[in-house]
Amino acid sequence: MISVTDLRNGTKVKMDGALWQCIEYQHQKIGRGGAKVVAKFRNLETGATVERSFNSGEKLEDIYVETKDLQYLYPEGDELVFMDLETYEQFHVPRGISEATKFLKEGMTVQGAMYNGRPLDITLPASVELKIVDTPPGVRGDTVSGGTKPATLETGAVVQVPLFVEAGEVIRVDTRSGEYLGRA
Identical topology for domains 66-123 and 127-183: yes
Helix (H, G, I), strand (E, B) or coil at 104: coil
Q: CATH for 127-183?
A: 2.40.50.140
Rounded Cα distance, 133 and 171, in Å: 11
Per-residue model confidence as pLDDT tens digits over 14-32: 988 888 888 898 988 888 7
pTM to 2 decimal places: 0.71
Reading the chain (184 residues) residue by residue, the pLDDT tens digits are 888 888 888 888 998 888 888 889 898 888 877 889 999 998 877 778 899 999 888 899 988 888 899 999 998 988 899 999 999 999 888 887 777 788 998 999 999 888 887 778 888 898 999 999 998 887 766 556 667 889 999 988 999 998 888 889 999 999 888 899 988 8
What's the CATH architecture for 66-123? Beta Barrel (2.40)
* Contact residues for 156 (Cβ-Cβ < 8 A; gap 6+): 102
Listed residue (170, 84, 71, 75) closest to 128, CA to CA: 170
CATH number listed for the domain at residues 2-62: 2.30.30.30
Contact 138, 112 (CB under 8 A): no
The domains of the chain are located at: 2-62, 66-123, 127-183
Helix (H, G, I), strand (E, B) or coil at 23: strand
3-state secondary structure at position 97 = helix
